[in-house]
Homo-oligomer: A and B are copies of this chain.
Amino acid sequence: MATGRTHRPATRSRGIPEATVARLPLYLRALTALSERSVPTVSSEELAAAAGVNSAKLRKDFSYLGSYGTRGVGYDVEYLVYQISRELGLTQDWPVVIVGIGNLGAALANYGGFASRGFRVAALIDADPAMAGKPVAGIAVQHTDELEKIITDNGVSIGVIATPAGAAQQVCDRLVAAGVTSILNFAPTVLSVPEGVDVRKVDLSIELQILAFHEQRKAGEEASSQDAAQPVTPPVRPAPADDSDRKGPDGDVPAVMPA
């Protein structure tokens, strides 16, 4: 999963819990696959397995949307696809701009998953003048100067930031000022935005770090990985402000385990 949330504090949107909203796209994908195989109906058990969740959770999630199932039978696939799409707002067209056409930006522009879900790449924007006019994924890259005009002309409300970290906040400010109210941020920075603007963050490095944590834990289950050769410099515990005597050569106090 992508990570940084920044979900709305506790504002259950129209009674639908955030956690449920986050799972609807999962269900939708599984349902779409069933639809393509012309499967007419599906039980909560089957669909839950396909989406990788608990069937009770799935049923509760759907109960927030309404009673769309038939007891003894299951859910009508086509009907449910439509209902979830409508709930997620995918029955309308969402123009999206991608700012920062580096490796990642180009990958995003080429990503097929967008177009298939009601999202349309309205423009690709980059600060490098050398990029301007160059076609990426069949769309000519435009210069940052055009940003405001592009946003307003196309009625864009969703922006994707794929710039280096240093430029992200500035780009964000301009997007918001121009009218964008939802931002998907790939830059490794915390963006500050005014009230009413949604930010979701995808951070590749954070995901890896979380994996590393669990990996270390698995590996260190038996081997007490602690006294292994430390590749990085272990800094000393800052002295208790009593400057009179510094800790002797024993240094590196092993910082007692929490529990």
Contacts and interface: CB of A to CB of B under 8 A. Distances in A.
Interface string A238-259: 1011000000000000011111
A38 interface: no
Contacts of A188: 29, 113
Interface string A72-83: 010010110111
A212 B181 contact: no
Nearest to A237: B79
Nearest to A255: B66
Copies of this protein chain in the complex: 2
Contacts of A39: none
Nearest to A84: B209
Interface stretch (A124-132, A138-146, A214-222): A214-222
A89 interface: yes
Contacts of A181: 215, 218
B13 A88 contact: no
B118 A25 contact: no
A122 interface: no
A234 B92 CA distance: 12
A173 to B, nearest CB: 16
Contacts of A209: 24-25, 28, 88, 90, 117
Given A24-B209, A182-B212, 4 more contacts: A2-B2, A90-B212, A111-B204, A184-B204
11 contacts: A14-B217, A29-B188, A79-B237, A89-B215, A90-B212, A92-B228, A93-B231, A104-B107, A113-B188, A114-B205, A157-B219
